[in-house]
Structure 1
């Protein structure tokens, strides 16, 4: 083990302890009831960076959730690296699905369980370990950009990038917020799907009415909404919205068996869409109904209800235009409802897709560092999820390399119950990032 790797190894226990304290803060950015927790988490992140030796730390807010910016000025002749992560987390989905309390970090079988342990407080902890391994004096310039609203689409990110451009200027962005190919095998994400949301409401009646007296003639809103949502896919499961882009890209041997095991698809349930698994996941659009407002079953009576509402989520394939495809989805919802029912559509958050290059000296240094730390070369792969800032960073700082790395793996269950971080891969990710900075200084 090199001297630097040994320094990282010494810092790992303390960093994991800090990660456990961060997991205990329920920084759910989507819930206004947790605004104070989001602010508290930002303050804790700022304090951790200061304690680790970062000389310039501030909390900024540009109309959204607070972000933490920390800066270690570059020694003369060395590049500057911006290390990105986010401290906000998804809602838990209810504690009944968790084996342990979601905001109590719990170690079990080599993994650390808890909401945010992997996505993305684990990514933040990697950056913290890197700074501590160098005793607060890294060999290159470092800018820490720790965001507090990634899980709600980063609505104020563009304003932050514009107003703090001088602080965020760099040669290399490292976004530690994706997924590795598998445990023990790192990955660099080369493409990301974009994200667009629409909220659709169907109305059929002025007021609720008796289902026996009027049913069979008057349509109920939920049935009408179900028929409308059913038009979003064809019989094969491909998206049926006109005008959506479907691209191509490098493929990996992602088998149906592996996908079934990782996704938890139940036995006998068929997979939807056409093309290879990697093509469908990484280079094709997808549409999902992720929320529904209607009369709860336990409150239901034999009544036709007048309105129902759904949230529809579109993943935009790399190469697609997020704004145009959001408009296409909205138009589809407005024009495909049955029986002349009234439909209103509101467009929600959106974020662009991205294609990222692994060309150039900085990317080559990253490949060498991760290969050294993990013992295997990183896999270049697409990602079906969305990280809007990847493209926004590339647009804001032309010429900078954008590298998307990970602490998550396919078993991390991010956004789901029992989210977890593989602690072995976490240690390797910390070593890889520290080695990368040393290689950049030498170059």
Structure 2
């Protein structure tokens, strides 16, 4: 059950701050028609909000984890549920659930492996209007340990102004932002509007997007657009919208470290023979300087202007314990948005329960690096590998496995689509958006650029600093969500009022 009141009480407590708005693309500023049109969109979003939240809760209940260890049938259920919601909108000429071959699997087999199901939909533009592609993903991260959650991860629960559950924010709320915005648009304009809309709701973003490039190629005609909204990012805070203009890239791989042909008694040979754990600890420590900044030569930083963000805010948002100091150098946000970072996210070695007095012959660790906008991901991996090979202690043997890379991204903010987004956000939130970077990565954006080089790409989102995506107690602030939903509705309305080449 979806606990708590999701309708009138919340809608009254978090008003939409859109007084005094103007929209020159809909009519002349200052006229009574402006206020009436904007009020109509506001009313449509308000009226549809309880249904939008109920639909979101239904999607959150489906454990659509895309990782191999989880049942893929749930991802199929999720895709089917999203497709049903999209069909019910009544505005698309085509709605389908499709798959594409996993990258390179066509070359390895006559029966290539298919990726997980995605939803596509399309309506053609008319009367010279542009086409917008709306992207989100319906798959989710694994929930982790259920005991770390205050409520069951796949039981959507409202506490205060937040809806908790895996995928409540990342990114089923992004899915519902698109669906809710189209609903509100048709409530005001009817289903016979001129704007072209393509929809792409991916099913494997949380696990490498392995069929993404092939999916784009196979569905290029359906997905081609003048502007692309990627609804998978965050806002500055509960009251301030944001447009994401910089994303770090990603490099991840498994590193195997070996020093012995077999395990040996630590008492018999310890002190003379280097075990793999000793070599691993010494090797990994070489990746960072004393202040915790990355020590790998060849990894670059970007030059970005960052807003004010102090250590107190970092501590509050990141959960940094008292007495534990931040790491790195430069402004805090430059460390997160514009500089490289390296994290060890996993290690294969005997656990304490099975520890014996043994020299361990080999270990395996997962290295996860974030690279600054402007650096090529393959080049960054080569620099990290060269550093590790040059610093391997005691001649330890290194093996690099399962290498994954994703390119960083910088948004061109000079186009009309960004200007329209800024105006729509200012109208919906009552406050101008700020431009932010994100320390995380969305590698598939580079593939969107490759396939649609002339499209303007916008990275927006429904999250806030407390959403805790990928973590226990992931949540969506309903006030942020409603304002983001109105902003997208107004953006679509502005595009429906403009020529595709203007």
- Give me the TM-score of the superposition, normalised by structure 2: 0.86
Q: Secondary structure at the match of 2:230?
A: strand
Aligned match for 1:283, one of 338, 347, 351: 338
Pairing 1:63-74 to 2, within 5 Å after superposition: 63=101, 64-74=115-125
Provide the C-alpha distance between the structure 2 equivalents of 1:73 and 1:391, rounded to a whole number of angstroms.
Answer: 25
CA contact (8 A) 1:139 1:437 kept: no
RMSD value, Cα? 1.4
Report the structure number with the largest CA radius of gyration: 2
For residues 253-312 of structure 1, the C-alpha deviation after alignment (integer angstroms, 9 at most, x for no partner) is 011111111011111111111110111111111111111111011111222221111000
Deviation at 1:362, TM superposition (A): 2.1
Aligned match for 2:128, one of 49, 54, 77: 77
5+ residue gaps, structure 2: 1-37, 102-114
Aligned to 1:103: 154
Aligned to 1:22: 59
CA contact (8 A) 1:198 1:330 kept: no
Deviation at 1:40, TM superposition (A): 1.7
Aligned to 2:463: 408
Deviation at 1:139, TM superposition (A): 4.5
Aligned match for 1:13, one of 50, 53, 63: 50
Aligned match for 1:47, one of 84, 96, 102: 84
Provide the C-alpha distance between the structure 2 equivalents of 1:217 and 1:93, rounded to a whole number of angstroms.
Answer: 40
CA contact (8 A) 1:200 1:344 kept: yes
1:88 aligns with 2:126: no
Provide the C-alpha distance between the structure 2 equivalents of 1:414 and 1:233, rounded to a whole number of angstroms.
Answer: 26
1:62 aligns with 2:100: yes
CA contact (8 A) 1:293 1:308 kept: yes
CA contact (8 A) 1:173 1:403 kept: yes
Aligned to 2:30: none
Q: Secondary structure at the match of 1:78?
A: coil
Deviation at 1:389, TM superposition (A): 2.5
CA contact (8 A) 1:178 1:406 kept: yes
For residues 359-382 of structure 1, the C-alpha deviation after alignment (integer angstroms, 9 at most, x for no partner) is 222221111111111110111111
Provide the C-alpha distance between the structure 2 equivalents of 1:147 and 1:182, rounded to a whole number of angstroms.
Answer: 27
Pairing 1:37-436 to 2, within 5 Å after superposition: 37-53=74-90, 54-63=92-101, 64-133=115-184, 134-135=186-187, 137=191, 139-436=194-491
Aligned to 2:20: none
Deviation at 1:48, TM superposition (A): 1.4
Aligned to 1:3: 40
Provide the C-alpha distance between the structure 2 equivalents of 1:256 and 1:267, rounded to a whole number of angstroms.
Answer: 12
Provide the C-alpha distance between the structure 1 equivalents of 2:70 and 2:485, rounded to a whole number of angstroms.
Answer: 33
Deviation at 1:201, TM superposition (A): 0.7
Provide the C-alpha distance between the structure 2 equivalents of 1:95 and 1:332, rounded to a whole number of angstroms.
Answer: 39
5+ residue gaps, structure 1: none
